């Protein structure tokens, strides 16, 4: 190990910064957030430094002089003069004061790591000052893994340490207790920003034990297909599931990301048949939670957009089962983006409506005059079967028969296909193809942008028709 890592307490400590430019500003920002008292020696301060921290620092407005290092706990040099930087380093080291010269490892007695700040949790990464770009890239990866509210969980654990010690004298018991808390729904409450409830449940668990609790239901939007479109929260919860109930729209690649040993239950629906009636699904969620299980209910797209999410949580709410809802990228958003069709565009559409084209008694019951508006994009979910009727009604209600229309089949997946045409020819055109669900329909002049913008599609081998 080239360096010995330490975290230093700078609360109310006098620290010296030699230099007043943008590099100094970055370091000052961090040191101030660690509570340091900072003196800056520099003939001038850059505007940003002055504006952001002018009132929080002591500024000595002149060049550095040898005697300046006296009385400081920590010294940093960030001037653009190599000789000044070297001088500061030499004097500080002679006086045994830790010194850092920014980007000059040879002149440093300490170096500063790249950090991930979830205070009080702090993660530091160092490459010995030799490869800061590598440290930054590693940092970005870890940032994505550690939820933003991690610090809240750490704070709570710190607060309840004493109470737990009193209630559980055995150290091994306490460790097991914290393990369960950290991997379970109590931690999840803090991570999702619900600290008050987390606090209550933590206090309660200390009294009655962590196992005597209900399971939770997490209703998760899995997005339109590409696993990369999951949210961080969705992935985190999926990896804590005891049981997963999933739909037909949830792709195998996404299902793979749920906890390996979780039970998987298929409850998917097709247009006409229902693998499990909706009422049974609702009841199943309640029953599993009552057995103490953490239940993930995975839905395609967003649970609240043609996803019956509202119906599924009604019974949970009535039965007092704790639940969370995680939004997902809805098909309209995912498919339109991957097909290079902006849903709104200042030259084409000022509004966008999402409707369901689900057949009811052989007809599609929609407000056609509201939909037949040339300055609007209409997105139709579940509209494949009703397509001829939809095209016919829209033209009948005044939308030009030359209005562009796109069908996006299996959008965002590697099998995505985009079929474009106009209202009057699409129903006959698609007879040549055997288009399968899930398919999304987009109608409006924004569809004309598909040709020029579709190269944005990350699926390299996109099929075009």
Q: CA-CA distances (angstroms) from residue 387 to 95, 335, 355, 397, 446? A: 82, 18, 13, 15, 19
3-state SS, residue 175: helix
Active site residue 103: no
Quote the least distance from Cβ 307 to ligand SAH, whole Å: 3
Quote the least distance from Cβ 273 to ligand SAH, whole Å: 15
Active site residue 247: yes
Q: CA-CA distances (angstroms) from residue 151 to 123, 177, 368? A: 11, 19, 51
Closest by CA position to 342, among listed 404, 387, 250, 398? 404
- In the sheet that 404-409 helps form, which strands lie side by side, from edge to edge? 351-356, 376-381, 439-443, 404-409, 417-422, 463-464
Quote the least distance from Cβ 232 to ligand SAH, whole Å: 19
CA distance 441 to 446: 12
> What count of Cα atoms within 13 Å lies in the side-chain half-sphere of residue 314?
10
On whether the CB atoms of residues 301 and 228 are closer than 8 A, the answer is no
**Footprint of ligand SAH on this chain (CB under 6 A)?**
224-225, 249, 299-302, 305-307, 330-331, 335, 381-382, 408, 410-412, 437-440
Question: Rounded to the nearest 10 degrees, what angle do helices 171-183 and 150-159 cross at?
Answer: 150
| Tokens of residue 407, six digits | 């069908």
Quote the least distance from Cβ 285 to ligand SAH, whole Å: 17
Question: Among residues 117, 155, 263, 269, which one is catalytic?
Answer: 269
State which residue has the least CB distance to ligand SAH. 301
- Which residues neighbour 204 within 8 Å (Cβ) at sequence distance 6 or greater? 213
- Which residues neighbour 329 within 8 Å (Cβ) at sequence distance 6 or greater? 221, 223, 224, 229, 301, 302
Quote the least distance from Cβ 297 to ligand SAH, whole Å: 12
Question: Among residues 247, 293, 299, 302, which one is catalytic?
Answer: 247
**258: phi > 0 → left, psi -120 to 50 → alpha, else beta; which?**
beta
Quote the least distance from Cβ 335 to ligand SAH, whole Å: 5
Catalytic positions: 247, 269
């Amino acid at each position: 190990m080239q360096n010995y890592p330490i975290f230093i307490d700078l609360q109310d400590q006098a620290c010296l910064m030699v230099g007043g430019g943008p590099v100094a500003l970055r370091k000052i920002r961090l040191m101030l957030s660690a509570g340091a008292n900072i003196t800056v020696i520099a003939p001038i301060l850059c505007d940003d430094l002055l504006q952001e921290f002018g009132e929080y620092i002591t500024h000595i407005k002149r060049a550095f002089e040898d005697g300046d290092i006296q009385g400081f706990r920590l010294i940093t040099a960030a001037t653009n003069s190599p000789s000044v930087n070297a001088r500061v380093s030499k004097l500080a080291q002679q006086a045994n004061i830790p010194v850092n010269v920014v980007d000059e490892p040879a002149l440093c007695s300490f170096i500063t790591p790249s950090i991930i700040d979830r205070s009080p949790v702090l993660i530091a990464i160092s490459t010995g000052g030799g490869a800061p770009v590598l440290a930054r890239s590693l940092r970005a990866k870890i940032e994505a893994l550690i939820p933003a509210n991690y610090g809240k969980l750490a704070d709570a654990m710190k607060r309840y340490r004493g109470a737990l010690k009193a209630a559980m004298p055995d150290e091994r018991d306490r460790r097991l207790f914290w393990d369960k808390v950290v991997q379970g729904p109590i931690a999840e409450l803090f991570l999702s920003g619900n600290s008050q409830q987390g606090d209550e449940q933590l206090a309660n668990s200390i009294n009655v034990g962590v196992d005597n609790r209900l399971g939770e239901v997490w209703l998760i939007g899995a997005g339109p297909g590409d696993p990369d479109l999951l949210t961080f929260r969705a992935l985190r919860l999926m990896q804590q599931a005891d049981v997963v109930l999933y739909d037909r729209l949830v792709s195998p690649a996404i299902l793979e990301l749920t906890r390996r040993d979780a039970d998987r239950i298929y409850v998917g629906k097709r247009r006409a048949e229902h693998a499990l009636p909706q009422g049974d699904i609702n009841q199943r969620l309640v029953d599993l939670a009552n057995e103490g299980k953490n239940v993930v209910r995975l839905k395609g797209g967003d649970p609240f957009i043609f996803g019956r999410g509202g119906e599924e949580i009604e019974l949970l709410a009535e039965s007092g089962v704790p639940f969370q809802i995680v939004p997902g990228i809805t098909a309209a958003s995912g498919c339109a983006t991957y097909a290079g069709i902006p849903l709104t565009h200042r030259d084409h559409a000022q509004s966008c409506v999402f409707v369901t084209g689900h057949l009811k008694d052989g007809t599609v019951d929609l407000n056609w005059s509201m939909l037949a508006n040339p300055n609007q994009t209409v997105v139709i979910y579940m509209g494949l079967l009703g397509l001829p009727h939809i095209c016919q009604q829209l033209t009948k209600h005044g939308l030009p028969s030359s209005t562009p229309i796109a069908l996006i089949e299996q959008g965002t997946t590697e099998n995505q296909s985009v079929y474009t045409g106009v209202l009057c020819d699409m129903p006959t055109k698609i007879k040549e193809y055997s288009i399968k669900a899930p398919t999304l329909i987009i109608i409006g002049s924004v569809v004309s942008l598909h040709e020029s913008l579709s190269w944005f599609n990350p699926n390299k081998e996109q099929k075009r028709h």
